[in-house]
Amino acid sequence: MNDIDFDRYDRIRPIRWTGDALELLDQRRLPFHVEYVRCQDSDAVAAAIHALTVRGAPAIGIAAAWGVVLAARDIQADDGAGALAALEPALQRLNAARPTAVNLAWALARMRRSLGGAGADWRERLAREAQAIADEDLAANRRMGALGAALIVPGSGVLTHCNTGSLATAGFGTALGVIRAGVAQGRIEQVYAGETRPWLQGARLTVWELQQDGIAPILIADSAAAHLMKSGRVQWVVVGADRICANGDTANKIGTYQLAIAARHHGVKFMVAAPSSTVDMATASGEAIEIEERDPGELFAVGGVRTAAEQVGAWNPVFDVTPHELIDAIVTERGVIERPDAQAMRAAFGA
């Protein structure tokens, strides 16, 4: 990791705790407007998570943790047990904001546990735990970036999907962290980014992020991915995950599954990079994952301009599940799992 210049490749922070409020970089406004939304209570944080003001599984978890800190200000309790009971409605509202990303429930569970045995200092414990969640995520991203980049042969082209960078995490990114590390080490020659309809996270966010670091990506239409693979220009697809199951199945942004199928057909390697907090050993396989569906109306327009006829139907799942058989490597800060399956996952993460 010593050959990675983090000051150059880690400049963006989407979540800022000021001590009295949570400021979230409004990712709906990027790339043309860099604005922060100020949240002064937990319900504002929950609304920001639901509205995609903040997005990306790790970032959602971090934001929710700070949302608990904000909720604590309205609670009167003598100790952690009393605080937990009083905080439970706010915790439930935060948890309901986005159901698919396991990091949200994971972060809220950590905040609950931090109150165990707490006395009058329970508010300070919550604040320390929220900061620890953010700090650990940044360290994990830098570690997995180095581990994932080591799998990539120098001179390679890579394709990524959605946005998995600093905007989706505490900093550096998951899949985009692998890409940043690979560029810094001279392993990645060219980065391709799929646009990622319908919210265009690739077009609006990923290419903007890479530009901030002096990396020149090439944007492609989602539907051009298989043709790109056939051309021989990419050797790896590198994506993130919102949930990794006990058998190695992964849930990620809609469109990931078809990339994995196309990659296998064309002999392109497929890597999933995500922190260990994304691993859900309690969910046996992708069949058990609740797939969030959003307003079908999101498909009817691009940039606020309607492109579909009136009175048409639409189906708008936000995620899909990639079977573990199509994944060459899962990379977390704990290490690399090649050809993941239930046995390999148990060896890495326990039962």
The pLDDT tens digits for 332-342 are 999 999 999 99
What is the domain partition of the chain in residue ranges? 6-139, 141-349
pLDDT at 259: 98
- CB within 8 A of 334, min separation 6: which ones? 276, 348, 349
pLDDT at 99: 76
Confidence band for 5, pLDDT divided at 50, 70 and 90 = confident
Tens of pLDDT along 224-248?
A: 999 999 999 999 999 999 999 999 9
Tens of pLDDT along 175-210?
A: 999 999 999 999 999 999 999 999 999 999 999 999
Whether 303 shows a pLDDT value over 90: the answer reads no
Higher pLDDT pick, 57 / 87: 87
Stretch 123-142: mean pLDDT:
96
pLDDT at 255: 98
Residue 79, exposed/middle/buried by CB under 10 A (0-12, 13-18, 19+)?
middle
CATH assignment of 6-139? 1.20.120.420
Whether 84 shows a pLDDT value over 60: the answer reads yes
pLDDT at 144: 96
CATH assignment of 141-349? 3.40.50.10470
Q: 94 near 54, Cβ under 8 Å?
A: no
- List the one residue out of 275, 281, 314, 284 whose CA is nearest residue 297: 314
Confidence band for 100, pLDDT divided at 50, 70 and 90 = confident
Q: Annotated catalytic sites, by residue?
A: 242
6-139 and 141-349 share one fold: no
Q: How many residues are there in the chain?
A: 351
pLDDT at 203: 96
Q: 150 near 193, Cβ under 8 Å?
A: no
For the chain, count helices (H), then strands (E).
Answer: 12, 16
Distance separating alpha carbons of residues 67 and 71, to the nearest angstrom: 6
pLDDT at 272: 98
Whether 89 shows a pLDDT value over 60: the answer reads yes
Q: 336 near 330, Cβ under 8 Å?
A: yes
Full-model pTM: 0.89
Tens of pLDDT along 245-268?
A: 999 999 999 999 999 999 999 999
